[in-house]
Structure 1
Amino acid sequence: MTDPTDDPAGTVGDDERVADWPVALSGVTESVVTTLGPNGRWNAAALGLFAGDPVTARTWGNTRTKRNFHRRGEGYVQFVDDPVVFTDAALSRYEVDEPILGEANAWARVTAESIETGTDDGTEWEQWTLEPVDSTVLRTEVPTIDRGFAAVVEATVAASRLGVDGYDESTLRDRLAHYASVVDRAGGPREREALARVREHSNW
């Protein structure tokens, strides 16, 4: 493992070794990815990881993540369990000075290669393969199932689609109301704060 600050600009050589993912991936695993922008700061954004060999991810629209992947060809995929951090990454412009978030439980430095592009209901998307070149586990905890956190994640997805062609506005708002009720019943203080951020960062 290398220190991520040793090469913050993201210059991955062809001869750099391939690493393993720090966690087992299945289905679609939600993560936060940081990518270095032209302003010298790291942009944090939510990124769904599709399990497979290789792991893939899809960016929607002309996002900072997409542009930075094209500029640098890499990023730092991080696994967090703080709903506020995830919400801010999913729905706001979230920039930091260092590539690794303080809330990350594990991270993988990955190369990103574009393999396919397309359009879905008027929104452009781009498919990427992600190959880890370095990774580490920062902390381990006994996993728990938190319905409130799960509802926050789903709320960020629904909120990000408000006003997007191809999605029914009333259906999305009904979903958001349901997720809010789950957070109210089953969430803790961080989940409630995260839901407030969903409202703050979106047109909900």
Structure 2
Amino acid sequence: MGLLGEGITEVIAVTKDNAAPMGIIVKPGMSPRMILFKGSATVENILKHGWVTANFVSDCYLYPQYAFSNAAPSDFSEVFVGGVMMQRLLGADAWMGFLTRVLHETEETYYIELMPVASEYIREDPRPINRGFNSVIDATVHATRYVHSRDDSLKMLIEYHLGIIAKCGGPREREAGVLLKEICGL
């Protein structure tokens, strides 16, 4: 799939006239998946239209922007892929289009399977955002202070980020997590 690696990759998910930060789950031997909370515009659009695009952006500002405000119509470009008219972010470095299928429903969530139908690199060297990667950075910053102070509040922060690394990181992030545990004596 090129743009998606093992773990949970953070993207800006675009559905009909909507954009929101979202994690795409990739595990060996499985198609990509998303867990969506009921009541969101994203889940309603996926249920109604049956598609989503994953937009890979290197502008970190877009994550909080789309998490807390609506996208403008001028933020999107239409693309016809997989027999469906979809939208992608104009500001994306790369994007993937998916057809969707509900695999499981709970009282609060939908577990959605993503079937890739198209992808495009728009800018050179797009870099998907992996939550584990970000937590490696945060845990490392805390660890540089912890090894000198042994402050319990720093230890708690490191353990928090190690949990994210274990859950959301790929193989390299998990290797870094093991190294951080060794360095910190955890």
TM-score when normalising by structure 2: 0.58
Which one of the candidate residues 10, 32, 37 is aligned to 1:55?
32
Task: Report which of the two has the higher share of helix.
Answer: 2
1:8-47 superposed Cα distances (whole Å, 9 cap, x missing partner): xxxxxxxxxxxxx3413221100011111xxxxx200111
Corresponding residue of 1:113: 101
Q: Say which SS state the counterpart of residue 100 (structure 1) adopts.
A: strand
* Rg larger for: 2
Whether 2:57 is the aligned partner of 1:73: answer no
- From 97, 103, 109, give the equivalent of 2:91: 103
Offset, 1:102: 2.5
Task: Give 1:142 shift.
Answer: 8.0
Q: Which runs of 4+ in 1 moved over 4 A?
A: none
Over aligned residues, Cα RMSD in angstroms? 2.9
Question: Relative to structure 1, is the Cα distance of residues 51 and 62 closer, same or farther in structure 2, using a 3 angstrom cutoff?
Answer: same
Deviation of the 1:89 alpha carbon: 1.6
Q: What is the match of residue 44 of structure 1?
A: 19
In structure 2, the partner of 1:28 is: 8
Please identify which structure carries the higher strand content.
2
* Residues 39-90 of structure 1, C-alpha deviations (whole Å, 9 max, x = no match): xxx2001110000321000111310010000110002111111111111122
Q: Normalized against structure 1, the TM-score is what?
A: 0.53
- The SS at the match of 1:83 is coil
- Identity within the alignment, %: 23
Residue 88 (str. 1) matches residue 65 (str. 2): yes
Mark the runs of 5 or more structure 1 residues left unpaired by the alignment: 1-20, 37-41, 155-174, 176-204
**Residues 64, 95 of structure 1: alpha-carbon distance in 2 compared, 3 angstrom cutoff:** farther
